[in-house]
Structure 1
Amino acid sequence: MTWNDEFHPSDHRGRPPGGGRSVREERKMAIEAESVAALYEQLKRRLADVYPDAELFLKAELAYEINRLKKEKNALILGHNYMEPALYHAVPDLVGDSLELARRAAETDRPIIVFLGVHFMAETAKILNPDKTVLIPALGAGCSLAESLTADDVRRLKAAYPGAPVVAYVNTSAEVKAESEICCTSSNAARVVASLDAETVIFIPDQYLAANVAREVPDKTIVAWTGRCIVHEQFSVEDVTAARRQFPDVVVLAHPECPPDVVAAADFSGSTAAMIRFVREHPARRVMLLTECAMGDNIAAENPDKEILRLSCRRCPYMQMITLEATLEALRELRYPVEVPEPVRSRARRALERMLAIA
């Protein structure tokens, strides 16, 4: 199955077996809980298999205080799908993949945005909201893809391939986006590349995503950079083969940042939001996810009627820095503010807005 499907936001309307509240409704109830005890009981319904009771109660205490401060400061909390489960289910107002969060960041009227994601995500929110305070809970929450090239690298690529438009995956710095014609995410990359009136396209920085896009858009010549996601590059065809040998009925889902041979071996490849939708809607009872393992925990909690295989946990070390404790301190102390200087911000914004117009 193709990975270039329309995505849906991850705080979806899917319901647990036998009816009941949606994930979105349960998250809203957690955010509005009137006591730590009420929030704890709310989380326990979803996460009893993820955390011991004592740890879950401590997390409920932290989440309750975060939600109190969020209301007091009129802050918006955006969270990426790779958050740890307690954060995912108790704190963010909006949850999604990079494209959905970019859209929502552009729409908010709240004065403070706390981004539960890595630096390029918070930076994207600041690019789209220059007059708002944008906070990231951990300064060290970077990204191997964003760190794999600089604006100077992009300028050298443009000089080597004059006239070729540059498509920047959102997993890039503001300076790199500013040197690019348009941005993309994993959910719309092929669509963005196909929209360009050029035979040759420079695609940065993800080598594997570029190769997977090239298969979807064979009429384009794609010049790729050599960046790789430190999580997704670890998956192999052997992982898929071993899973199928042990579980012949398993349906394998791979993120498009995985190597092309892994994507080809999978049954489906798509963005985090597309993978969430697939698990919710597909009749398969056993699914293996080739992506960041916290997302596997979140999907398992949302789909208790399905067996989610995570044969080896590959946690993003940067997303692991985004904790309840760090989020609480971010709201208490208004740290760490993200800044993007002009004219970098305005040039990067143009690339993002072109993407949003296509998306």
Structure 2
Amino acid sequence: EVINTDNTDAFKYDEKVLAAYSNYTKSWDKWDLSFGLRVEQSSIEGKSVTLSEANTQDYLDWFPNASLSHQISESVGITGNYKRSISRPSYTNLNPFTFFLNENNVVLGNPNLNPTYRDHFYLGVNFLEYFTVSSYYDNYDGDIVELARQDNDTNIIAYTPTNLDKKVEFGFDFEFIYAPTNTWDLYFVTSFYNIAEEANFEEGFVEQNQWSNYSILSNSFSFLEDRSLNASLTFTWVGKNLQQFQTIDNRLVSELSVSKTILKKKGIITLAVEDFFNLQDYKSRTRYLNQSSFGNVDVDNRSIKLGFRYKFGNTKLSTNERTTDAEERERL
């Protein structure tokens, strides 16, 4: 047996993170203040044994966060916050090994990836109990994206994780939660946002931006006197948007589910229908410098599912399973 080194690799990865946290909160009158700070020391080493390549990173970073809220009146409140965070590249993205999807498509790791730093700003106002209007601004330094880069000489498209020079996203959201009746719950949210991406390639500098809309309309209904019949109808609109220098076309996701409780609430019959308008498929386009490609994503999303669930035994007994405290679990 002879090892094919073109299709074989051993990648050794070691990551150590030391972090310290501090947090301060204070409430007075109708004000709430929270301030926190995380200090983090990271050491990373990745080695590709077969390719004899190594990557080491060692950095110390500070990550503050702050939140301030004020209840202006009984029906109006305002909240603002800021948070700085980090996203590290996974070891699979750092591995320089070439993975062949087929003769013309490969996935390449990038051992020179750096972590992504994100600064997030938020300002929101809730009023009249049912409404929330908010705005946000996100600045990504070195956002990690898997770019599809085509080689026009070899006709090979390589999907490679890459740090963008800059990515900025900002938007305005409107949220409405209301119960028109005691058997009908309504939820609606719409977001108008802009994404701008910048990167410097060997062929030149690229800058693109796109305004988009993302909206959800969800309805939940209860029927019959004992409310044993329930239905949920949800529509999700994903407008034309920019993702990693690709323009993605509009999509409409539709979902309908109906459930009926039977047999003294021990049995449940469910019926679910997804994508009944068949508008979840989409097209993608890449147009910049010497990159020009087109994709048509036609996924088998349309489905009808019928299910039945039955609870055996004494359903009034409570479990003795011990669960981790929510606050501790979140910290971990």
The two structures share one fold, judged by TM-score above 0.5: no
**Highest RCO, 1 vs 2 (Cα 8 Å, sep ≥ 6):** 1
Q: TM-score with structure 2 length normalisation? A: 0.22
Q: TM-score with structure 1 length normalisation? A: 0.20
Q: If each structure's strand is expressed as a fraction of its own residues, which one has the higher value? A: 2
Q: If each structure's helix is expressed as a fraction of its own residues, which one has the higher value? A: 1
